[in-house]
Structure 1
Amino acid sequence: MRLVVGRIGRAHGVKGEATIEVRTDDPELRFAPGAVLLTDPPERGPLTVRSGRVQGGRLVLSFEGASDRTAVERLRNTMLLADVDPTELPDDPDEYYDHQLEGLTVRSVDGVELGVVDQMVHGPAQDLFAVRRPDGGEFLLPFIAEFVPEVDLEGGVLVVDPPEGLLSL
């Protein structure tokens, strides 16, 4: 199974480095020098990590074959993927992979079906559920304990308690 572990951002400097939006709990492993990452779109990869460092709180990587700013800019917004064992689960029971959450039925705490988790959106402050409503509309819900009191993977249900007014937007 393939998981998104990051997204290539802007070029950093002129020597072929790029900022990375990290989407993994183990960046030391996933982005170690020599690590080979698949890409989406696939024609941009695979990419081999040449070097990495943290600068100003952001991960900065360089890749084999992308030796200047122009080459890195062509990779911008490329999703970085890693092959993982499908039985591998996060260590923390309150953490989930996107594929575990996408497709779950969303119900309010009083049992009203609100839709289905269409995708996870990884914002700078927090993760959000993009929920497709039965009528085809969509709403975003922050993935915080206050709004999401229960995740039942076995039952295929996400129980939510959205703040008043969110669903009427």
Structure 2
Amino acid sequence: MRVQRVLVGEVGRPHGVRGLVRLHAFTADPRAIGSYGPLTDQSGTKVFRITPLPDGLGRIEGVADRDAAARLTGTKLYVERSQLPPPSDPDEFYLSDLEGLAAFAEDGVAIGTVRLVEDHGAGPFLIIDGSAGELLLPFTRACVPVVDVAGGRITVVPPAEVLVRPEAGEGQGAAA
């Protein structure tokens, strides 16, 4: 069985000359990022032990100077899903729990499967693989009004500007 890793933070730029870094935590409590146990890179091969400090800073075990800290800038930090506490409410879930769910339109038509959930700062979005190709969809209540993790499905309402319909004659070999 594949180990599911959940993105919980990212190493920012160095701070000072003694190896401290800016730490971007994606957890509800930013200081809790160090309490989940060892963090890894995306592949799971590099292990990081992090001590969060005030003001969004962090100390990474084994990193003692600015150059070593600079080499880690941009490293995404993951934890095994099993290390995270279970959601306290039946309607709560981790964004990574959406991966693999079937996506359906409001009328019940199958759209595809959620391949990935990403967030580049403007809010999370879903990458859905379907028969029409890849669909990028903002993860908002308007676009994803129903999430049923236990049932393995979501209901999606893509904004009109996301749906691109072919023009008349497009895709049908035109005569020369």
TM-score, normalised with respect to structure 2: 0.77
The aligned residue for residue 95 of structure 2 is: 98
Partner secondary structure for residue 70 of structure 2: helix
Cα contact 1:9–1:21 (8 A) shared by 2: yes
CA-to-partner distance for each residue in 1:2-27, whole Å, 9 max, x for gaps? 43211223223433222233222232
> In 2, distance between residues paired with 1:100 and 1:143?
13
Higher strand share: 1
Match for residue 41 of structure 2?
39
Q: 1:68 to 1:92 in 2, by over 3 A?
A: farther
Quote the offset at 1:62 in angstroms. 1.9
Q: Which runs of structure 2 are paired with 1:15-164 in the superposition (5 Å)?
A: 15-31=18-34, 36-44=38-46, 46-54=47-55, 59-83=56-80, 85=82, 88-91=85-88, 93-135=90-132, 137-164=133-160
Q: Deviations over 1:47-89 (max 9, x none)?
A: 22245222xxxx2212121122210122223222234547942
The structure with more radius of gyration:
2
State how far apart, in whole Å, the 1-side matches of 2:100 and 2:38 are. Answer: 29
Change (3 A) 1:143 1:94: farther
Which contiguous aligned blocks of 4+ residues in structure 1 show a shift greater than 6 angstroms? none
Aligned counterparts of 1:157 and 1:87: Cα–Cα separation in 2: 22
Using the alignment, how far apart are the partners of 1:74 and 1:132 within structure 2?
Answer: 34
Deviation at 1:119, TM superposition (A): 0.4
**Worse overlay, 158-167 or 8-17:** 8-17
What runs of 5+ residues in structure 2 fail to find an aligned partner? 166-176
The residue identity in structure 2 corresponding to 1:39 is D
What residue ranges of structure 1 are gaps of 5+ in the alignment? none
Q: Give the secondary structure class of the aligned counterpart of 1:166.
A: coil
Task: Give the aligned residue type for 2:54.
Answer: R
Local SS of the residue matching 1:24 = coil
Q: 1:19 to 1:125 in 2, by over 3 A?
A: same
Give the root-mean-square deviation of aligned CA atoms. Answer: 2.6
Secondary structure of the equivalent of 1:144? Answer: coil
- Whichever residue aligns with residue 143 of structure 1, its letter is F
Instruction: Tell me the TM-score normalized by structure 1.
Output: 0.79
Contact 2:98-2:114 at 8 Å conserved across structures: yes
The one-letter amino acid paired with 2:155 is V
